[in-house]
Amino acid sequence: MPSLEQYIILSIILFLIGLFGFLSRRNLIVILISIEIMLNGLIVLFAAISHFTKDISGYIIVFFIIAMAAAEAAIGLSLVVLIYKRLRTVYSDEITNFKG
Amino acid sequence: MNWDLIIFYYLAIVMIFSSVFAIFSRHPVYTVLLVLVMIVHQAFLLLTLGAEFLTVVQIIVYAGAILVLFLFVVYLINLRKETRRNVFIRLVSLIAIVFLLFGAFLIKNLFILISLKPSFRAYLPFSIEEKSNVWWIANYLFRNYLLQFEIIGVILLVAILGAVFLIRKVKTVE
């Protein structure tokens, strides 16, 4: 059985990959997908801690995280479709409506 | 042969490499499909942690609903390969990632310290007893966490109504 430390390292690596994608990509859909990768890192962390401390609460927090991810994806993707309808672009550096 | 460790390393390596390739691929369709690979492997990682219910929820909700939604939006909008690179932001974020990596491995010890403390609840050998994982999750979810469960339901309802409202308003304006 792998130890808790290995699961925590895996979750931190996944979170940092998602953070790097969130900061460095220009496509709005890829930015939303990297938020999903960060949430997956959190899921691994909570499930591992719940398994190693024999406490069921971490699994329930994972359940809530998955529900929140569904709501966030619905709202975010509808905003992306709205931006594409208005401005005909999905790249974050071409949306310059609020520039003075 | 320690099969647990072999399975864990296989799942971890596939998850890390598929998410790295998903971040660096030029085309959004490849990104969505690689994230699908990552999520299926993560479901099996949850299975090794003894969470059968969460494995099924992960596959149904993430792979079946959320990524299909992403794929629909990728097909809906105009695809254009991302050729230009944002060099400055990439450099800044690389430096930020190096510092965060340093901080994260300090935080890791903190997590281990916290999680090694005995839990304030009673000791629950939920994967060993004859009561299954689903029984324990249902028991806790509908007794101790009922209010949070209802709040999640309201949040999902607001998300659905918000999505419908955002899309319909443009249609009436145009």
> Cβ separation of A40 and B94 shorter than 8 Å?
no
Are B77 and B154 part of one and the same domain?
Answer: no
Are B90 and B157 part of one and the same domain?
Answer: no
Are B27 and B67 part of one and the same domain?
Answer: yes
Whether residue B72 lies inside any domain: the answer is yes
**Position A19 confidence tier, pLDDT thresholds 50, 70, 90:** confident
**pTM as predicted:** 0.84
Count of CB atoms within 10 A of residue B67's CB?
Answer: 19
CA–CA min distance B130, chain A (Å):
15
Are B92 and B76 part of one and the same domain?
Answer: no
pLDDT at residue B114 tops 50: yes
> Cβ separation of B28 and A48 shorter than 8 Å?
no
Whether residue B121 lies inside any domain: the answer is yes
pLDDT at residue B148 tops 80: yes
pLDDT at residue B83 tops 80: no
State the Cα–Cα distance between residues B74 and B115, nearest whole angstrom.
40
B41 lies in which domain range? 1-84
Are B35 and B59 part of one and the same domain?
Answer: yes
State the Cα–Cα distance between residues B13 and A92, nearest whole angstrom.
31
Whether residue B137 lies inside any domain: the answer is no
Whether residue B75 lies inside any domain: the answer is yes
Q: What are phi and psi of A27, to 5 degrees?
A: -75, 130
A46-93 per-position pLDDT tens digit:
999 888 887 788 889 999 999 999 999 999 999 998 888 888 888 877
Are B75 and B95 part of one and the same domain?
Answer: no
> Cβ separation of B159 and A75 shorter than 8 Å?
yes
> Cβ separation of B119 and A6 shorter than 8 Å?
no
Under 8 Å between Cβ of A26 and A91: yes
State the Cα–Cα distance between residues B109 and B66, nearest whole angstrom.
33
Region B105-115 average pLDDT: 67
- Cβ-nearest to A73 among B53, B66, B76: B66
Under 8 Å between Cβ of A75 and B159: yes
Are B17 and B53 part of one and the same domain?
Answer: yes
Last residue of a domain, one of B49, B64, B84: B84
**Pick from A29, A19, A35: nearest CA to B92:** A19
> Cβ separation of A74 and B69 shorter than 8 Å?
yes
**Position B129 confidence tier, pLDDT thresholds 50, 70, 90:** low
pLDDT of residue A35: 94
Q: What are phi and psi of A91, to 5 degrees?
A: -95, 135
Split into its structural domains, chain B has a count of 3
Domains of chain A, by residue range, sit at: 29-89
pLDDT of residue A3: 82
- Give the CATH number of the domain where residue B49 resides: 1.20.120.1200
Residues of chain B with Cβ-Cβ distance to A59 below 8 Å are 51, 53-54, 133, 137
Are B78 and B15 part of one and the same domain?
Answer: yes
State the Cα–Cα distance between residues B67 and A10, nearest whole angstrom.
22
CA–CA min distance B173, chain A (Å):
11
Are B31 and B93 part of one and the same domain?
Answer: no
Are B78 and B90 part of one and the same domain?
Answer: no
Are B6 and B32 part of one and the same domain?
Answer: yes
Instruction: Compute the mean pLDDT over every residue in chain A, rounded to the nearest whole number.
Output: 87
